[in-house]
Amino acid sequence: MTSLVSARNVSKSYGAVRAVDDVSFDIEKGCITGLIGPNGAGKTTLLKAVLGLTDCQGSLSVLGLDPFRQRKELMQNICFIADVAVLPRWIRVHQLLDFVEAVHINFSRERAEELLARTKIPAKAKVQELSKGMVTQLHLSIITAIDAKLLILDEPTLGLDIIFRKDFYSNLLGDYFDEERTIVITTHQVEEIENLLTDVMFINDGRLVLDASMDALPDQYVELLASSENADRARKLNPIFERDVFGKKVLTFEGISRDELTGLGEVRTPDIADLFVAKVKGATA
C-alpha cells in the first residue's frame, strides 16, 4: 500500500533556525492523524511543506505528487483550514461560493448551500459581519463541499467557544469524513480530539518524538500511580518521566510490560496530554 503522505528526512531552516529537523513519517488513507506540538515546534512549517507552500530538503510526496513543484495539481485534492482567518473580510457569502465554484473543480455548490442552510449564516452577509464561530462554520461548509482526499486542519477551533468546537468536530465526522478521506489536524486542545484520532505524532524542536497508532499506545506506554516507597522500586525500571499528583508519584514508562509493574501501584494508559508532557519534558530532563 502506498502512503497518502510520505516524508523522508524532511528539513526546513529559516536562517540558523531549523524549524523542521530530519523528519520522516507516513500517513495512510482513511486515517485521522493528530500532529501535536508546543508553540514554535515546527507544526505549521511541516504542514506548509505538505501543502507545497514552502520548499524543503529531503523527499516529500503527497498523493504521489511533489507538493512544491506540483502544487496546482495537488490543490485539486487537498483542503486546508489555517489557524488564521484567511477569508477576505469584504467578501459576501454568496460571492465566496461563486469564487470557489470558479476555481475548484471538485466543489459542489449545492452541498455547500445545503450545509450553510443548517447554520444561521445569511447568504448576503459579509465575512466581517460574521462572528468568529460563524466564519469557521462557513469555512468548514466550503471545505466539506469539496471532494478532497486530504484535509489539513491547523488549529481549526482556536478562539471558538465550547459549543462551536464540539459542533465543528461533530460536523467533521458526520458530514465530511469517510474511509476514502484522510485528515491531519493540529490543536492545543488535545483532549478534545483524542478519541477521534487513529494516529498521533508529537513534534518538538522540529523533531518527531512520537509517531504511533492510537491502538498501539497502550502496549508502548504505561503510567504507574505509586506511593513514594514503591516509586523508589519503580524508578529502577527507567521511567521516562515522573510527576507528583496528590502526594503520589506518577511514573511514565516506555516499552515495558505491564507485568513488571505488578504490585507497585495502579497501572493505566496515559492520556495524550500527559504522554505529550512526558515525551517532551522527559527528553529535555
Residues of this chain that bind other proteins (CB under 8 A): 32, 166, 169-171, 173-175, 177-179, 192-193, 195-198, 214, 268-269, 271
**Smallest distance, Å, CB 112 to other proteins?**
19
Output the CA–CA distances (angstroms, integers) from residue 165 to 73, 122, 172, 274, in the order listed: 32, 21, 11, 22
What the block records as the C-alpha cell of 233 is 522500586
* CB of residue 94 to other proteins, shortest distance in Å: 27
Toward other proteins, which CB reaches closer, 170 or 228? 170
Name the residue nearer to other proteins (CB basis): 59 or 170: 170
Give 184 or 193: the residue with its C-beta nearer to other proteins. 193
CA-to-CA distance for 36 and 260, rounded, in angstroms?
A: 30
Task: Tell me how far, at minimum, the Cβ of 211 lies from other proteins, in Å.
Answer: 17
Residue partners of 279: CB distance under 8 A and separation at least 6: 202, 204, 209, 210, 240, 241
Instruction: Tell me the closest approach of the beta carbon of residue 68 to other proteins, in angstroms.
Output: 31
Hey, how many other C-beta atoms are within 10 angstroms of the C-beta on 21?
Answer: 17
Closer residue to other proteins (CB): 16 or 163: 163
Consecutive H or E run containing 63: none
